[in-house]
Structure 1
Amino acid sequence: MQVTLLGTGDTTGTPTVGCDCDTCTEARRRGVERSRFSVHVRNERTDESLLIDASPDFRHQFLTHDVPLPDAMVISHIHFDHLDGLGNAYRVFDDLPVYAADETDPTTGESVADTVRSKYDYLDRITVHDVSPFETRRICGLDVTLVPVDHPPLLCYGLVVEDPETGAKLSLSGDTSYDIPNESRGALRDPDLFLVDGIVPASLCEYHPIGGRHENDQGVPRTFGSKHMTREGALELAEELDAKTTRLVHTAHFYPVDEAFEEPLAVDGEQYEL
């Protein structure tokens, strides 16, 4: 299983358009990008590829990185930085299966699959497949499972991708606070590679309107506001889940410049063989 991180940034990416903060300036100097979130998974046994989330930077990502167009796609939730790149499929694909959760979201009155289906009804070469949480589907020769996480006010899902022949395992936390249900933690456990939401360091919680949440024994917030984990929360979760390799994704340009390019923060283009 070959995993390529096409997009490792949050909703505005790094560098952020129109921003001249120290972190964005340094990212430009280094030629480093953290575009909006997307992960490419290639099954080298079957020569098929799965795309996790449709970044608005879809076109740029596939022109920049040497990976094939996907044979299928999974959508974790309906925020624009994970979904709106699906419009790039117009005139690009002959047939693209898109998998998404079937649970009805109380906030929207429809499931993620329903939203994808209705929003992109003009893409007649896209077929949306409804998937129940914890229901494993064989997609591109890989076992894919959606697991509920905590990203209020919308339903959101992490993912587990396993190779049924080699046992290689990729886990993604999805966009989430530290308050991930125990059943989902169990499914995510023991990954070879863990891609985990760590939007900012815990020290920045004082600048959030509602501060931080889910403090550890030392009083360090593991959730920034209500929707995303802090760096510290992400690393604690990775340790709890016994991840072999951990990369922090969905990171913001608010990281101080002297921390923004340190391990284990991911950048676009990283590739892993599992």
Structure 2
Amino acid sequence: MRVTLLGTGDTTGTPTVGCDCETCELARERGLERTRFSVHVENERIDESLLIDFSPDFRTQFLREEVPLPDAAVVTHIHFDHLDGLGNAFRLFDSLSVYAADETDPATGASVAETVASKYDYLELLSVQPITPFETIYLCDLEVTLVPVEHPPQRCYGLTIEDPATGSKLSVTGDTSFAIPDRSREVLADPDLLLADAIVPAHLCEYHPAGGRHEGPDGVPRTFGTKHMTREGALALAEELNAERTRLVHVSHFYPADEAFEEPLALDGETYTI
């Protein structure tokens, strides 16, 4: 599998529009970018590819990285920075199957699949396929499994993608706090590459109205507020999951400039063959 990180930023990206903070200014000076989240996974054995989430920066990402358009896609949840790029499918595809969870979300009264189908009902080329979490399906000759994570108030999912021919495994946490259910952790475990949500460093929790949560044995918060992991939380999860390699994604511009581009924080355009 060839994994390309199309977008590694949070909902505003880095640099953020209209922001002159030190981190955004440094990103501009160095020509670095974290657009909104999306991952491209290519099965080079059969020359087919799978997209995880539709970033609003879809057009920029695909032109910049020159990766092939996907043969299928998975949507992890309905927040705009993961879904609203789907409108780019107009005139680009003759047909496209998009897979999303079939569980009804009490917060919306609909599943992710139902919401995607309703919002993009004008796209006749689109076929939305409901899938059940923990049930493995085959897309692009790869094994794909959705797992529930914790991103209140709406339902959100992580996923694994495994190549049955090579045994290689990619795990993606999705947008989540550290409180990922045990059953989901079991599925996510032992990846060759882990992409983990790490929106800010733990020391910024003191500035969040909800503070930090899920403190480790050292007292350091592993969750920022209620919805996302801290850098320290993501790294603790990576250790727990026994990840061979970890890249931190969904990174915000709130990281101080002297920390914002340090390892293992990911940047757009990184590629990995696993």
Count of aligned pairs between the two proteins: 274
1:197 aligned partner? 197
1:225 aligned partner? 225
Q: Quick one: distance in 1 between partners of 2:24 and 2:37?
A: 17
1:5 aligned partner? 5
Q: Secondary structure at the match of 2:88?
A: helix
Q: Quick one: distance in 2 between partners of 1:69 and 1:261?
A: 29
Deviation at 1:218, TM superposition (A): 1.2
Q: Secondary structure at the match of 1:247?
A: strand
Q: Secondary structure at the match of 2:196?
A: strand
The alignment status of 1:130 with 2:151, answered yes or no, reads: no
Q: Quick one: distance in 2 between partners of 1:158 and 1:135?
A: 13
Q: Quick one: distance in 1 between partners of 2:169 and 2:95?
A: 27
Deviation at 1:66, TM superposition (A): 1.9
Letter in structure 2 aligned against 1:257: A
Kindly provide the CA deviation profile for residues 99-139 of structure 1, in whole angstroms up to 9, marking residues without a partner as x.
00000000000000000000000000010000000010100
Q: Secondary structure at the match of 2:214?
A: strand
Q: Quick one: distance in 2 between partners of 1:217 and 1:230?
A: 15
Q: Aligned runs of 1:94-133 on 2, under 5 Å?
A: 94-133=94-133
Q: Aligned runs of 1:6-21 on 2, under 5 Å?
A: 6-21=6-21
2:89 aligned partner? 89
The alignment status of 1:41 with 2:37, answered yes or no, reads: no
Letter in structure 2 aligned against 1:190: D
Q: Aligned runs of 1:178-217 on 2, under 5 Å?
A: 178-217=178-217
Q: Quick one: distance in 2 between partners of 1:174 and 1:195?
A: 8
1:270 aligned partner? 270
Q: Quick one: distance in 1 between partners of 2:57 and 2:102?
A: 26
Deviation at 1:188, TM superposition (A): 0.2
Q: Secondary structure at the match of 2:161?
A: strand
1:175 aligned partner? 175
Letter in structure 1 aligned against 2:8: T
TM-score, scaled relative to structure 2: 1.00
Q: Quick one: distance in 2 between partners of 1:31 and 1:133?
A: 39
Kindly provide the CA deviation profile for residues 58-96 of structure 1, in whole angstroms up to 9, marking residues without a partner as x.
000001002100010100000000000000101110010
Letter in structure 1 aligned against 2:185: R
Deviation at 1:196, TM superposition (A): 0.1
Identity of aligned residues (%): 73
Kindly provide the CA deviation profile for residues 167-220 of structure 1, in whole angstroms up to 9, marking residues without a partner as x.
000000000000000000000000000000000000000000110000011110
Q: Which runs of 5+ in 1 are unaligned?
A: none
Q: Secondary structure at the match of 1:215?
A: coil
Letter in structure 2 aligned against 1:117: A
Letter in structure 2 aligned against 1:119: K
The alignment status of 1:61 with 2:61, answered yes or no, reads: yes
Q: Secondary structure at the match of 1:190?
A: coil
Q: Quick one: distance in 1 between partners of 2:141 and 2:126?
A: 20
